[in-house]
Amino acid sequence: MSNNINDNNRSRLLIKCPDGPGIVAAISKFLFDHDANIIESSQYTSDPEGGTFFIRIEFHCEGLLEKRVEMENNFATLASTFSMDYRFSYANDRKRTAIFVSKEPYCLMELLWEWQSGDLETDIVVVISNHESARSIVESLGIPFHYIPANKDIRKQVEAEQIDLMKKYQVDLLVLARYMQILTPEFVDHFPDQIINIHHSFLPAFIGARPYERAYDRGVKLIGATSHYVTNDLDEGPIIEQDIERVDHRDHVTDLKKIGRKVERRVLARAVKWHLEDRIIVQDNKTIVFH
């Protein structure tokens, strides 16, 4: 979106509903009737015959801060007509992000760089780690850093502390930037479709631990990374983004890890960026991503 458009007057509308005629026309008329100008619109239908319709619209509307409550109330009638599942998101309501990291900081550093350069529409409000290694990097940027040792024996105690911190910092999005701890179902249930993970393989291949070692043992010719929403099924949540690099027999495990880190960084950064820009609609265990 153009930078010269006042954030206070910009919004995004995400909708999914049973497909049928007249949906786009009705939405367009609604926005027109409320003096809103459509900036960008993307849509998708899962099946032209009885499928699900998805649409993401960005629009500009003068005086949106004063109009938004009335606008949303009025839209509820239209939504009911088409059985819509929908949400409005406002550009001036910046999402608040927490990053979880363990010993390896490269994904964290990529996100911090993207944030510093203005490419992530968020406030990074806290970093939580079970290692101290990233503290100096994080605190040099004025971001609070919380060291919380974690292992399976104290997991519930640790997660209770982490949930309290998420409430304290009013977090909207949790990013697991190589946080090497398995989250309990109780923790995950607190944050549905709000936790983004990076897994260092091209899922569904090599789910779980030590994927590079297993990839090397299998003699793969491609390695990849996958960013997905976290569910209670390990590494099986809705996939947001994936990418790959070619490798060959000369690449040992250490080489695969070096190559893979580059893939991991860019895949996670893209997924986080698209979430923050409200470009993702989750449907069952899949995602619709409007690039």
Find the catalytic residue in 235, 251, 255, 284.
Answer: 235
pLDDT score, position 3: 46
235 is catalytic: yes
Sign of the torsion formed by the C-alpha atoms of 8, 25, 34 and 75: negative
Evaluate whether residue 31 is within a structural domain: yes
Residue 207, domain extent = 95-289
pLDDT score, position 32: 98
Task: Encode 240-276: b = buried (16+ Cβ within 10 Å), e = exposed.
Answer: bbbebeebeeebeeeebbebbbebbbbbbbbbbbbbb
Evaluate whether residue 2 is within a structural domain: no
Question: Which of 43, 63, 90 corresponds to the end of one domain?
Answer: 90
Question: d(Cα 38, Cα 189) in Å, to the nearest integer?
Answer: 35
| Count of domains observed in the chain | 2
Q: Are 116 and 241 within one domain?
A: yes
| Cα–Cα nearest to 173, from 146, 192, 195 | 195
pLDDT score, position 1: 40
Cα(first)–Cα(last) distance of the chain, in Å?
13
Q: Are 210 and 285 within one domain?
A: yes
Evaluate whether residue 1 is within a structural domain: no
Q: Are 132 and 219 within one domain?
A: yes
84 burial via Cβ count (<10 Å: 0-12, 13-18, 19+): buried
Dihedrals φ, ψ of 19, to 5°? -70, 150
Per cent of the chain over pLDDT 90 is 93
Q: Are 123 and 232 within one domain?
A: yes
Which stretches of the chain drop beneath a pLDDT of 70? 1-5
pLDDT score, position 5: 57
Q: Are 83 and 112 within one domain?
A: no
